[in-house]
A and B are shown apart, each in its own frame.
Chain A
Amino acid sequence: MATTITKTETLVGKSIRRREDPRLITGTATYVDDIQMPGMHHACILRSPHGAARIRSIDIQAASAHPGVVAVFTGKDVAAVGPVPCGASLPGLRVPAHSILAKDRVYFVGHPVAVVVATDRYVAADAIDLIEVDYEPLQAVADPEKALAAGAPAVHPEWPDNIAFTYHQEGGDTEKAFKEAEVVVKQRIISQRLIPTAMETRGVVAEYHGAEKSLILHSSTQIPHLMRTLVALMLGLPENHLRVITPEVGGGFGSKLNVYAEEALMCFVAMKIGKPVKWIESRRENFQCTTHGRGHVDYYEVAAKRDGTVLGLRLKLIQDLGAYHQLLTPAIPTLSVLMMPGLYKFRNVNADIVGVFTNCVPTDAYRGAGRPEATHGIERMMDLLAAELKMDPAELRLKNFIGNDEFPYQTATGLSYDSGNYAAPLKKALDLADYHNFRIEQKQAKASGRLLGIGISTYGEICAFGPSPATPAGGWESATVKIDPSGKVTVMTGTSPHGQGEETTFAQIAADELGVPIDDIIVIHGDTAIVQYGIGTFGSRGTAVGGPALYFALQELKKKVRKFGEMLLESSDVTFVGGHCVHNKTGKSVSLAQIAGASYRAMKLPPDTTPGMVATYFWEPPNFAFPFGAHIVITEVDPDTGHVEIKRYIAVDDCGNIINPLLVAGQVHGGVVQGLGQALWEQAVYDDNGQLVTGELTDYAIPKASMIPWIESSHTTTPSPVNPLGVKGVGEAGTIGCSPAVVNSVVDALSHLGVRHIDMPLTPEKLWNLVHPGGQA
């Protein structure tokens, strides 16, 4: 049977539509709240209405007696359950005891106080209203700088200074750099607290199988395997008795890169009542008790020469931690410090972080996690320096970029940037913006009273988390590829996609490597009983770390395929192409199905080869990957109202090689939208008593489709040498590049009025007041 087998058309690099979407857009996907089980009970959680209070007493009698209520638990009932884990370790870190239900004190609005378990959700909610808690309200503090002031209320009485940790990092000789500086610019820059607002709130279903003493935990999470390890630890359960299943997850943005009280609490409840129990977070709870992002007050200083050469960078970073440490809370600002030099040749850097407790929900990773703050800081500072030197901000950036011949580049913060061509995306973006002519147009516009501005942001980010020594829980990723006896392929990834589309991109990679149609491949993730251990999806690591793991698993498998192919064709002169092993001389071939069938039937085995067609690979990345890019935003401020119109949004991103341009575009768009949210509308506001006053979507302004400008997205391509796919990661790039470009643009529009800096969000009232000092219209 001599047939011509040619390599099928490759899929990597093509805009394949997401294979996930049909079930998502037709409403047939299964989220946690879609899970129904016989005998399933429902839990509802009573939460603190106070920012800080002592609990004098809790009366659960009426709630317990309410028809349909099967159990009510409070802090004293769950004493045996271990604390909510903090995975970050910093020298001298103060870690408050974080029990899954409050004991004698509450520390933030939303702090869980009691749980009611009932036969249905409505009964549980009714019974919550019957619990009487006698609180003694205490003075709260919600602002990190106020918390640091002398005499501030202590969030945790044992640490009256409210300082959870201080952290110092330096490189070079900053003192000398500032001494030699011809110009120094300073600015206080706020990256405000944000609420991640995943479309699907969190949810948990726990089922206990008493006979086997085993638990199944369904949770809307980004990290099923880590959750299994950590929740088993909290419960004192052997890890192999706990199975975590991650059904469809409707977005996370870092807020589900965590282990929360509710996961262990529902497991505890399921074990106590011997029935499955479900808890679904309301939007209001999501705002109150799922981690927030950002929360920086940064004090920057840049030293430079008159010609624009940057010399040194100082940062004092005040991080609002909230009342507790969630999984990575204290580690997030350290990422800001790592990336503080941006794309520039700062040889002397000096940073101090103060991590501050406040009576607010903890902050933690949120799309970009530390890098948007760093990029916002350095990109604002570059514009402030340009203004001080009366230099063009594009020119100043081009002057200070790390050169193409300097990679791998060792930064003053200890990183090794993998590859880059930083001028390329900026030049492309400047061309797209017709920068030179725009400046002429702008001059004319300003002369006629229009407030037209252009803003540049050139960002670099640290992605592909990451080498294990640099991460708290291992930074590798895993993949298993199996070929069934019929030749169908199953990919199991240790990542946990929740919107990233790896069921598509990983199938593209596998289809190309195995030469089979994409429809022959399925991708499985998020069930710890099926999939080998993995780390999860966050930090733009899905494709950049999970992808190479899959690539190497495929190489292992292909070796075995070849061996069986050679055996079946009785020759070593064989090529594996187009899903077949082909004899190079005779043209005889055997298909993958024949090969896989032979491997399972195992009538005969190649030398030193085991039956079956499965390969697993755990890939340890040798370094991070560092994507970069340039965003340019043209804005016009309405002088009568202060309203910002985004006239053009140009994004040129370099995320290395692209597996699927359609999905990359989706990531850039979504990222930019979240960046615009921070720049223009969003802010989590706590009042002085620790009340979250933006407690619902009626007051917390997330972007809506109608508020979003056209995004002109394009790319340059600088492959990463860190992994065989040459990919860098793109999940957070849009968010990181966006906010400084918008603020720089609006500051540029108002610069002739003496405006140097504006903190986000750029609300119309804030801008109106800048245009009309003293409130004069």
Chain B
Amino acid sequence: MISQNFEYSAPNNLNEALALLAGGNAKVLAGGMSLIPLMKLRLAAPDHLVDLSRVADLKSIREEAGSIRIGAMTTHWEIESSPLLRAKSPLLAVAASNIGDVQVRNMGTIGGSIAHADPAADYPASLLALEAKVRIVSAKGERTLGIVEFLVDALTTALDPGEIVREIIVPVEAAGTGVSYQKMVQPASGFAIVGAAARVQKSGGKVSLVRVGMTGLAGKAFRATGVENLLAGTGGTAADVQKAAAVVADGIDANADLHASAAYRRQMAKVYTARALTQALSRAS
């Protein structure tokens, strides 16, 4: 449980950090809740770690033009307890409160989490339901991607060498939006066996907007558009929810491990999707 030697830098500002990362060999330390255990097991042996914890520019939650911008180095605890998020875009705060344990939430950051792209991480389900954007920077410039484009595959993102996540952008919710994140917890690791995030709006007694993000079920988190299409425009009754949730795993190559077979995961995906939708609908007005 002892890592190999590595160089360690803790830059004080973003430019310094990006300059250090420009070579492409350095690995970002953004909380380290996944990276440090991998290093201790010697499964990861980066030559150079660039610790972003002192880069103040990356640590903020602020509202701007109908969006909330969350700095990449914002911890799960800061997201979970943010009055701004709780009031104006609560889904992400709920997702954050489901991550690991208190110690992990105090250390881990949203940027670190999404850049690691663990297929069972909690954030992606909510970020997909929120149609979040990811602002990426490097020494060469910056670009903004939709979360769908950002999450390329299991443990694989669209980040190129030298690039880091700068901030995550989520919408300020319209009044009356109902959200929910429902997670079946793997008892050892605390990761999701399946996790479903739902976000709905109603208008004139009909479901006018529905977004469903799913984590844990497949190699990468995905938006369950099949479910969304079936539920949109319905009255959002229990039967409508069941019918829509039933297709969440259609065409999905489900994960399997010691804790849940693929078949069981598919079943649970339906159950948790229905639960998330039901709760989100009950909160929508």
Contact = CB atoms under 8 A, between A and B. Distances in A.
Interface of A: 44, 121-122, 125-126, 129, 282-284, 640-641, 643, 680-681, 685, 693-694, 696-702, 704, 707, 763-765, 768-769, 775, 777
Contacts of B5: 122, 126
Nearest to B263: A775
Contact of A694 (B184, B258, B260): B258
A701 B41 contact: no
A698 B189 contact: yes
Interface stretch (B12-20, B22-30, B89-97, B267-275): B267-275
Contacts of A704: 101, 187
Interface range for B: 20 to 34
B1 A283 contact: yes
A699 B264 contact: no
Given A681-B187, A697-B189, 11 more contacts: A125-B42, A126-B5, A284-B1, A641-B184, A641-B268, A685-B258, A698-B189, A701-B187, A704-B187, A707-B187, A768-B264
Contacts of A282: 1-2
B2 A121 contact: yes
B188 A701 contact: yes
A696 B189 CA distance: 9
Interface in B235-276: 258-261, 263-264, 267-268, 270-271
Nearest to A44: B2
26 contacts: A44-B2, A121-B2, A125-B2, A126-B4, A126-B5, A129-B42, A282-B1, A283-B1, A284-B1, A284-B41, A641-B271, A643-B184, A685-B258, A693-B258, A694-B188, A698-B188, A699-B188, A699-B189, A699-B259, A701-B186, A702-B188, A707-B187, A763-B259, A765-B261, A765-B264, A775-B267
Contacts of B184: 641, 643, 764
Contacts of B268: 641
A704 B188 CA distance: 9
A699 B258 contact: yes
A421 B279 CA distance: 51
Nearest to A125: B2
Nearest to B274: A640
Contacts of B259: 699, 763, 765
Nearest to A705: B101
Nearest to A286: B1
Interface of A, secondary structure class, is loop
Contacts of A122: 2-3, 5
A764 B41 CA distance: 30
A701 B2 CA distance: 23
A310 B5 CA distance: 66
Given A282-B1, A284-B41, A700 B264 contact: no
Interface in B2-59: 2-5, 41-42
A146 B5 CA distance: 44
A697 B259 CA distance: 13
B268 to A, nearest CB: 6
Given A765-B264, A768-B264, A640 B271 contact: yes
Nearest to B261: A765
A553 to B, nearest CB: 43
A283 B270 CA distance: 36
Which 10 pairs from chain A and chain B are nearest by CB?
Answer: A701-B188, A282-B1, A701-B187, A125-B2, A698-B189, A765-B264, A640-B271, A681-B187, A699-B188, A122-B2
Given A641-B184, A698-B188, A701-B188, A765 B1 contact: no
B249 to A, nearest CB: 11
Most chain A CB atoms below 10 A, which of B1, B184, B260, B263: B1
Contacts of B1: 282-284
Contacts of A283: 1
B228 to A, nearest CB: 21
Nearest to A704: B101
A69 B227 CA distance: 61
Contacts of B4: 125-126
Interface in B135-178: none
Contacts of A707: 187
Interface string B96-126: 0000010000000000000000000000000
A284 B1 CA distance: 8
Contacts of B270: 777
A194 B259 CA distance: 16
A698 to B, nearest CB: 4
B219 to A, nearest CB: 18
Nearest to A641: B271
Contacts of A700: 188
A698 B42 CA distance: 16
A240 to B, nearest CB: 36
A775 B184 CA distance: 19
B138 to A, nearest CB: 32
A685 B188 CA distance: 13
A765 B265 CA distance: 9
Contacts of A693: 258
B159 to A, nearest CB: 24
Interface string B181-209: 00010111100000000000000000000
B103 to A, nearest CB: 12
A49 B4 CA distance: 20
B188 A697 contact: yes
Most interface-central of B187, B264, B271 (chain A CB within 10 A):
B187
Contacts of B258: 685, 693-694, 699
A775 B189 CA distance: 26
Nearest to B260: A765
Nearest to B42: A129
A777 B188 CA distance: 26
A557 to B, nearest CB: 48
A640 B273 CA distance: 12
Nearest to B4: A126
A217 to B, nearest CB: 23
A766 to B, nearest CB: 10
Nearest to B268: A641
Contacts of B261: 765
Contact of A777 (B42, B101, B267): B267
B70 to A, nearest CB: 26
Contacts of A694: 188, 258
Nearest to B270: A777
A284 B38 CA distance: 13
A699 to B, nearest CB: 5
B234 to A, nearest CB: 21
A775 B41 CA distance: 38
B203 to A, nearest CB: 30
Contacts of A698: 188-189
A125 B40 CA distance: 10
A132 B35 CA distance: 27
Contacts of A125: 2, 4, 42
Nearest to A694: B258
Contacts of A643: 184
A702 B187 CA distance: 8
Chain B CB count within 10 A is highest, among A702, A704, A707, A765, for A765
Nearest to A282: B1
B54 to A, nearest CB: 25
B188 A768 contact: no
Nearest to B188: A701
A443 B261 CA distance: 33
Nearest to B1: A282
A699 B270 CA distance: 24
B248 to A, nearest CB: 12
Contacts of A129: 42
A699 B41 CA distance: 15
A707 B190 CA distance: 11
A696 B41 CA distance: 10
A685 to B, nearest CB: 6
Nearest to B191: A698
Contacts of B2: 44, 121-122, 125, 282
Contacts of A641: 184, 268, 271
Contacts of A769: 264
B190 to A, nearest CB: 8
